[in-house]
A and B are shown apart, each in its own frame.
Chain A
């Protein structure tokens, strides 16, 4: 347990050794207390009258609405739509950016040649493409995909470019003197260096993809959780809307946890992950 170990910075303080001193409360307990405290404040704010309950219903009402949602098929269909757009968009962006990143990154000429264009296109906010997506595809999943792929592509591409630039010169020279072919060099020298960068890019892109999936649904109206939120708001189902907002947050947390697990599995050999496990 990390909490049992004294932090090096605190070792000099005599406080911990004093008889009768409080033992540190375990971290998960504190975390749970924090969550409960947050829910309690949320419950009290509308009940006391700080905010009108018709604008912010008490936490208990929202949680009941969320539990009710869990029993509805329509809710899971919406979750399915959102997750499908998320997964297809993310996968397409990762494949395209991964391959292009390797090709561009490994050629010094291409890197210089494309640099200005990449730096110009990258900061263009993907939501600027919303009107275009509506014109081209209307209220269909393709609209969401267009936004998701555009936004995620840059996240992954930049990371892969950084990764290729980080490849060790000595390793490249050794591979050359051993007569590695281009493919072998990519497989055994470049790819292992790029992988941690790629995973960081994918992890960032995973949350960006969720943001844009929800955004497209909210504004364009393609099917999914975002559209349900917009519908609930315009229909005046306020507890229902808060329940859906809570659900998107939980979905985001779940995606983060899964991506972190995948990253640790794939990079179990890498020093950064090995270090984390020891802690």
Chain B
């Protein structure tokens, strides 16, 4: 009974919205908004006959590659800078500038520097996504409890061991918050880099549908992007729960007290 009720809560509003959509497009056909059935009809043929392997998977691959490079690079550089006070002061204004720079403006710059190819698209994602991770890592390392620092020192834990067992775990919640921000930036940049002078990929395809006024196909493309975003955020939530299990447990104990 209880699971049934929570299931009802999950599906009630989406069902209601689809019904509303269906009812409002049933009368006179609106050029801009297809009926739900037209969208469903078009979805399969549009995406499952070649476009999944030709456009969607390469796009997602570039996104994942860019994100992975940005996260690893961001954490490594963030640790180096965060653990050294002079380096931190030296780089702070420059890093703040790059964080404030809207990442899409890097697309034309990198087209010039790298050229129109897959490398450019991955580079755009890396250059845009690295800043939240990098700055959050620095912030996380900086705000480690000083008592904990002295304890590790007096136990003679140093070097890689200190980073592995003290620094990384203490900074993990902040780092994860940075990674969460970089996910949505990465998705935006994936689409933009393909909309800007490209001949394949998800962003290009959706823009192509719009230019040829293939409205239901265009909507199905928006739906695909939404599903990718949803999948990305679900995967991230799952990872975060695993990585930060001890942290959430600690919070619960603290809140209960």
Determine the main DSSP class of A at the interface with B.
helix
Complex contacts, B185 vs chain A, CB 8 Å? 211
Q: B80 to chain A: closest CB distance in Å?
A: 14
- The B107-135 residues at the A interface (CB cut-off 8 A) are 107-109, 111-113
Are B102 and A125 in contact, CB atoms less than 8 angstroms apart? no
Other-chain contact of A115, B9, B85, B229 (Cβ < 8 Å): B9
- Closest chain A residue, CB of each to CB of B230: A123
Are B17 and A117 in contact, CB atoms less than 8 angstroms apart? yes
Complex contacts, A135 vs chain B, CB 8 Å? 32, 210, 215, 218
Complex formed: what's the CA distance from A226 to B195 in Å? Answer: 14
Top 3 A-B pairs ranked by shortest CB distance?
Answer: A252-B100, A131-B210, A123-B229
B4 at the interface (CB under 8 A from A): no
Would you give the 0/1 interface string for B194-236, flagging 1 where the beta carbon is closer than 8 Å to chain A?
A: 0110000001001101100001001101100110011011000
B71 at the interface (CB under 8 A from A): no
Known: A9-B150, A114-B13, A123-B229. A215 touches B93 (CB 8 A): no
Q: A105 to chain B: closest CB distance in Å?
A: 16
Complex contacts, B101 vs chain A, CB 8 Å? 245, 248-249, 252
B156 at the interface (CB under 8 A from A): no
Known: A131-B210, A249-B98. A241 touches B108 (CB 8 A): yes
Are B10 and A226 in contact, CB atoms less than 8 angstroms apart? no
Other-chain contact of B105, A32, A136, A229 (Cβ < 8 Å): A229
Other-chain contact of B107, A56, A218, A250 (Cβ < 8 Å): A218
Are B86 and A30 in contact, CB atoms less than 8 angstroms apart? yes
Complex contacts, A119 vs chain B, CB 8 Å? 230, 233
Are B92 and A34 in contact, CB atoms less than 8 angstroms apart? yes
Are B103 and A211 in contact, CB atoms less than 8 angstroms apart? yes
A84 at the interface (CB under 8 A from B): no
Complex formed: what's the CA distance from A132 to B221 in Å? Answer: 11
Q: A10 to chain B: closest CB distance in Å?
A: 9
- The A226-247 residues at the B interface (CB cut-off 8 A) are 226, 229-230, 233, 238, 241-242, 244-245
Complex contacts, B203 vs chain A, CB 8 Å? 127
Are B230 and A241 in contact, CB atoms less than 8 angstroms apart? no
Residue ranges of A at the interface with B (Cβ–Cβ < 8 Å): 7-9, 12, 25, 27, 30-35, 37-38, 51, 55-56, 112-117, 119-132, 134-136, 207, 210-211, 214-215, 218-219, 226, 229-230, 233, 238, 241-242, 244-245, 248-253, 255-256
Q: B123 to chain A: closest CB distance in Å?
A: 14
Q: Which of A132, A134, A226 is packed against the most chain B CB atoms within 10 Å? A: A132
Are A218 and B105 in contact, CB atoms less than 8 angstroms apart? yes
Complex contacts, A129 vs chain B, CB 8 Å? 222
Complex contacts, B104 vs chain A, CB 8 Å? 211, 214-215, 218-219, 226
Q: B140 to chain A: closest CB distance in Å?
A: 15
- Closest chain B residue, CB of each to CB of A56: B113
Complex formed: what's the CA distance from A250 to B221 in Å? Answer: 35
Are A34 and B196 in contact, CB atoms less than 8 angstroms apart? no
Are A245 and B226 in contact, CB atoms less than 8 angstroms apart? no
Complex formed: what's the CA distance from A38 to B94 in Å? Answer: 8
Complex contacts, A136 vs chain B, CB 8 Å? 32
Q: B214 to chain A: closest CB distance in Å?
A: 10
Q: B81 to chain A: closest CB distance in Å?
A: 11
- Closest chain A residue, CB of each to CB of B11: A116
Would you give the 0/1 interface string for B86-98, flagging 1 where the beta carbon is closer than 8 Å to chain A?
A: 1001111110111
Are A210 and B102 in contact, CB atoms less than 8 angstroms apart? yes
Known: A7-B146, A130-B207. A116 touches B14 (CB 8 A): yes
Other-chain contact of B188, A117, A122, A125, A230 (Cβ < 8 Å): A125
Are A30 and B105 in contact, CB atoms less than 8 angstroms apart? no
Known: A215-B102, A226-B105. A131 touches B113 (CB 8 A): no
Known: A124-B229, A128-B226, A242-B109. A248 touches B184 (CB 8 A): no
Known: A113-B12, A214-B102. A30 touches B90 (CB 8 A): yes
B187 at the interface (CB under 8 A from A): yes
B192 at the interface (CB under 8 A from A): yes
Are B226 and A233 in contact, CB atoms less than 8 angstroms apart? no
Other-chain contact of A249, B90, B100, B107, B195 (Cβ < 8 Å): B100
Other-chain contact of B14, A117, A122, A249, A250 (Cβ < 8 Å): A117
Complex contacts, A244 vs chain B, CB 8 Å? 105
B149 at the interface (CB under 8 A from A): yes
Complex contacts, B109 vs chain A, CB 8 Å? 241-242, 245
